[in-house]
Amino acid sequence: MKNSIIAPAALALVLAGCTSYSSTSGTGSTEQCKATSEQEISALFDRWNRSLQTGDPRKVVANYAERSVLLPTLSNKPRTTPSEKEDYFQHFLENKPVGKIDWRMIEIDCNSAVDAGLYTFSLGASGTQVKARYTYTYKWDGQQWLITSHHSSAMPEKN
């Protein structure tokens, strides 16, 4: 008799731990995970790259979460506020950059994603190209994907 009560209770606990569509935070509330795909996450770079083409640093910064960090290619200073990011992009956009992904790996989790790889920027103002490594982390804010961290660094080995 005891085993017939314990087995269903144990099964219910095991199954409760197997749900992949939601997670429980420390407050006891359930967070719904945004269904997404590698294609949707890779399109976020295209959105960011299109915002560069506008020449408007505010449109670029609109891709970033309020609480986010930019570790840019052409500056030693971490940018954490919207005004700091806007300042960086004001100067970066003067180069008329256009980015192209050369190689990437995407990892998706509940309401977050990481896109890391290699990209090349063509700088229209000078005609030069800059090859760099990148990492974007994204978070779903309930309405859109926003960048929570963006690290970019020039390739150390010149080919």
**Each residue's pLDDT tens digit, 92-118:** 999 999 999 999 999 999 999 999 999
Quick check: 96 and 73 in contact, CB under 8 A?
no
Give pLDDT, residue 27: 54
- The pTM assigned to this predicted structure is 0.81
Q: Is 150 exposed, middle or buried (0-12, 13-18, 19+ CB in 10 A)?
A: buried
Q: Name the phi and psi angles at 32, rounded to 5.
A: -85, 135
For the chain, residues with pLDDT lower than 70 are: 1-29, 159
Give pLDDT, residue 28: 58
Polymer length in residues for the chain = 159
Residues 6+ apart with CB under 8 A from 158: none
Give pLDDT, residue 136: 98
* Helix (H) and strand (E) counts in the chain: 4, 7
